[in-house]
Amino acid sequence: MGKECGVNLNKSLRNLLMDGIASQVMFSLLTVSVISSYLASINAPPVLVGFVVAISYISQLVQIPSALIAERFSRKRISLLANVISRISLLAIGVTLLVNLHSNVLIFVVFFAIYNVFKEVSAVSWSSWMRDLIPDHIRGEFYSKRIAYGKFVALFIVLAFSVLFNAIGELTFSILFLTAFAAGMVSVYFIKGIDDVEVECRGRRSLTEPLKNSNFLKLTSALSIWKFASEMALPFFSVYVITVLKYPVWVVIALASLSQISSMYFLRISGGIMDRFGNKPVATLSFVSFSLAALLFTFTTMPEKHPLTPLLLILIYMLDGFYSSVPPIAFMNMIAKITPKGSSASYYAINNAMASIFAAAGSISGGLIASFLLSTNFTLKIDIESSLGHVEIPAIHLASYDFLFLISSILSIVAAKIIGFFNEDNALSEKIVKNEIKHAVIKDVQTLMMYMHLPHMNPQLRWFNFNWFANDAFQRIPTPSESQIMFENSVEDYVRKQT
């Protein structure tokens, strides 16, 4: 595709893809699991863990004032400057931990706060910029593949750190932050190659405009409640694995790698589904999958870890790949659908600010609840007496963090119900999307089984064909009318399959 209005879309999307790979490596090294694992390794109390994790959400409040300038100046320049400052703070953390791993935790908190604040300063300008740059009819699939490719590369980095943790221990945390800094600077280099897009209509942006949109309020309410529920439990997943299940840090990193693989897979199939069948049903299923994951954590001990514990952890972190990567794309797409071009910054800012407030409240509440209930136990047993003897079966056992996970699971279901009130054009029911995902999974399993009996790999069966971007997607992007025809055909195909 050539240049249109001074923008070389092909070149910009290629640079955006490379930026996505580098930034995903950085984000994969700075997950909640890694941050909470570091705090657990220096024996930080649950309240401090909850507070530090909350920093990343409290800092999102800076998006509100950022929205006032996001579309008045160059969105590219704002993103570049804020990202450079954010990445440099990671360098400071890495050097500090290299000198003294158990240095004053206040130093870590300060630099971690700087990283998050300037990352969020960039977020509103970035979201508005991308909303105007990427065509509507390929946005879901492009974002999904961009993140999937990034997670594919990040997987090997995370696996390498899993081995490194097992070899040299806690010193690896310093190397981890330095690597995240390097990946972040590579990301900045490719951001420079993305063409800026002029705002079509400059003028005064009202932060109260989104609050008058009832459909938007339904959307952001659902996300806010889910953020509260998920961040109440997520910071303590890795803490639970380390302190309660007594697994070493490298096991947490290995489970995070499994989550990366799961995320790549679900991103591969969910992007096209969102473009064809709607974002709302996919987001709803993501909320439900998190609820199931949090609930499964309560069964990992009965009252001690048991032979099924490793299998439950594997299932939990496979679900993590779905609920951690799909909702951000789905919500970004849904906001893009209900906002006019050139004035979306205020919508993204309000949505992110609301979600961040609830996420921070959830993280802090999680720390307080965990501290209060650390010594609490609730056990329900089934006694069976017969001529062969007496058998006692632990049916339910809740202790310490289990109460936290149970509350989080229930609230996530509430969020899934609320998002059902959001009105999205062309969105189908969750049942149809669930069946579509099920058919895609079954088809891939059958393909994998067939591949295992072949002497050579069929190129058509490759899950990650990097030539897709180099050839098809950038040389010919379907027009909106063609995209609509593709959507209608896919629905007709689905109906035929069902009947």
72-86, 104-118, 421-435, 457-471: lowest mean pLDDT where? Answer: 457-471
User: For residue 173, is pLDDT > 60?
Assistant: yes
> 418 lies in a domain?
no
User: Is the model's pLDDT at 380 over the cut of 60?
Assistant: no
Kindly state whether residue 422 falls inside one of the protein's structural domains: no
Task: Give pLDDT, residue 2.
Answer: 39
Q: What pLDDT does residue 382 have?
A: 52
Assigned domain for 485 exists:
no
In a domain, 121, yes or no: yes
pTM: 0.64
Question: Of all residues in the chain, what percent carry a pLDDT higher than 70?
Answer: 79
Supply the range of the domain harboring residue 281.
7-372
In a domain, 324, yes or no: yes
15 in a domain, yes or no?
yes
pLDDT in tens, 276-323: 888 888 888 889 989 999 989 888 887 678 888 889 999 998 888 788
Q: Quick check: is 387 in a domain?
A: no
Q: What is the pLDDT of residue 127?
A: 79
Question: How many domains does the chain fold into?
Answer: 1
- Over 50: is that where the pLDDT of 342 sits? yes
Q: How confident is the model at residue 412 (pLDDT cuts 50, 70, 90)?
A: very high
Percent of the chain's residues with pLDDT above 90: 13
Q: 356 lies in a domain?
A: yes
CATH code, 215:
1.20.1250.20
Distance CA 324, CA 396 (A): 28
